[in-house]
A = this chain, B = another copy of it.
Amino acid sequence: MKIHHETLSIRTEVKQQMINVTKRVAATVEASGIRNGFAGLFSQHTTAMLLVNEWQDALLDDISEFLNRVVQDGLPYKHNSPLYSDCDRSNATSHLRSLLFNNGVMVPIVDGQPVLGRFQSVILAELDGPRDREVKVQILGE
């Protein structure tokens, strides 16, 4: 059994942003030398999450607008209120939008390659940027 651990550092640029990390995942799998097993990716944050979906600009815009419709700005969130929270918080919507995604995703590795469908990309969803983000990668197999 082999285990490989690595940290991906990602700088995001705007409040809500999708970042395609598929190639970095493939490079980490290759560097690990692990040919068959599981690769796990784990956001270390509560307002930046992961998903696997299609990488297409128009769709990413649709997702962002969907998030804004489902979790509306401007409601009286307690997390944003000095009555209920210590100061400097204003990101309740970022946390709520994070529920639509995953803190971690698993990808199987077969014959040295991450197994993903033709239209699947591994994507970091920044929901409260710009920030410096870390995604931990854990690969286990042989």
B138–A59 CB distance below 8 A: no
Measured in the bound complex, the distance between the Cα atoms of B134 and A33 in whole Å is 27
| Known contacts A62-B79, A79-B58: A53-B98 contact under CB 8 Å | yes
Q: Return chain B residues, CB-CB under 8 Å to A106.
A: 40, 42, 104, 106
The number of times this chain is found in the oligomer is 3
Judged by DSSP, the binding face of A is mixed
Measured in the bound complex, the distance between the Cα atoms of B138 and A63 in whole Å is 29
Measured in the bound complex, the distance between the Cα atoms of B96 and A56 in whole Å is 13
Interface residues of A (CB under 8 A from B): 1, 3, 5, 36-38, 40, 42-46, 51-54, 56-59, 61-63, 66, 70-71, 77-79, 81, 84-85, 92, 95-96, 98-108, 110, 115-120, 134, 136, 138, 140-142
